[in-house]
Amino acid sequence: MSQVEAFDAVDLIRAKRDGRELSTPEIGWLVDAYTRAYVADEQMSAMTMAIFLRGMSRREIRDLTMAMIASGERMDFSGLGKPTSDKHSTGGVGDKITLPLMPLVAAFGVAVPQLSGRGLGHTGGTLDKLESIPGWRANLTNEEMFAQLRDQGGVICAAGAGLAPADKKLYALRDITGTVEAIPLIASSIMSKKIAEGTGALVLDVKFGSGAFLTDVDRSRELARTMVELGEDAGVATSALLTNMNVPLGLTIGNANEVRESVEVLAGGGPSDVRALTLALAREMLALAGKPDADVEAALDDGRAMDVWRATIRAQGGDPDAALPVAKESHVVTADRDGVLVAQEALPFGIAAWRLGAGRARKEDPVHHAAGIDLHAKPGDAVRAGQPLFTLFADDPARFARALESVEGAWRIGDPGDAIEDGGPLIAERIGR
């Protein structure tokens, strides 16, 4: 005997299309019915467009998030006997912060269950970067993840299929219906996975600018506030930093080269912006986990964070001492005059790295771990004619032409005293209690 459905999808689509708030039972039914394929993709596509155009109230977004969590399993780390704290970044060009951040926070006895993803388009994926390390594996069972959190203090791995399956199905639909940018859908997608993950505290790195998912700072602020509210409503201590993605982060864009840069940061060096953001996010994560006085700079400089990094890489089958992949071919772009580098726009450099093979156009595409870009100067640096500005790396030299097309006009050399086009400070704002 077929199940009698509580609601009708077409009625709910019309209601949202006409601006009515959906009730808690209506949203719960919609997510459940879509997960079990009673509501068709065509109907859910219409609903996501209605949400994109009409928006959702705080209560509706909370109900949507909780319904997506209820579609799968919830993890529980209470048995670890130590606090848990996690970070989520909305992604950007050269954003490798998870790599040094996880071991730094774990060095203070706070467990970091970092469930990460793969890159698509111009933003890189944390798992793709780490798979540059010979032997390292992304897929762990829940038991392996728990054991690593207990023994090494932190883990970076792929999320299991049981975590918010409704979100996975809905995200794929949004990607092909032009509704990816709907803030209620972004917020519920991110937070359903993070809340289901079971972390006690969560810090959000919400980026704005040329290379960000949302370029406009006001839209990024709205997303950050929405996600912080969702975390608080679910009992997770949550804060957000609004960070600048107008310029690439650090001096590397790719996979293996970003791992190298991350190891430099763990050794107490590395680019100043990567170090500064790592420290700022670590302070936030530790403060929310009840350790506001942790000396994170000391742990980065004295090798404690590096020790955790090496232990976690080994625990996942990787060799922290192994040589990383090196590209077969390179192409250097030099300065055509003396002056100051005044502009270096993030998005074109991200697209160039993608065209070199560092990213993927479809989720099935392979990633070339040695492909990418090394930057030799950042906005504000003085340069001389003939000095290298950046180097492109690829295994196939035929890829250089299209990558160079991407960055044409994306960087500019000016005169001393010219305004630097970097979009302002690295950290624009903190959101949260």
Contact assessment for residue 422 and residue 346, using Cβ atoms and an 8 Å cutoff: no
Task: Give the whole-angstrom CA distance, residue 206 versus residue 216.
Answer: 11
Q: Measuring CA to CA, which residue among 150, 79, 73 is closest to residue 113?
A: 150
Written as six digits, the tokens of 403 are: 């990558």
Catalytic residue among 193, 221, 283, 399: 193
Q: Measuring CA to CA, which residue among 292, 172, 270, 187 is closest to residue 231?
A: 187
Query: Does 88 qualify as catalytic in the annotation?
Result: yes
Catalytic residue among 167, 205, 374, 422: 167
Catalytic residue among 85, 116, 132, 189: 189
Contact assessment for residue 158 and residue 130, using Cβ atoms and an 8 Å cutoff: no
Q: Measuring CA to CA, which residue among 288, 407, 414, 367 is closest to residue 124?
A: 367
Task: Give the whole-angstrom CA distance, residue 107 versus residue 110.
Answer: 7
Catalytic residue among 87, 88, 310, 360: 88
Q: For 282, what's the count of Cα atoms within 13 Å in the CB-facing half-sphere?
A: 29
Query: Does 174 qualify as catalytic in the annotation?
Result: yes
Catalytic residue among 62, 129, 174, 310: 174
Query: Does 189 qualify as catalytic in the annotation?
Result: yes
What is the pairing mode between strands 427-431 and 372-375?
Answer: unpaired
Cite the active site residues.
88, 167, 174, 189, 193
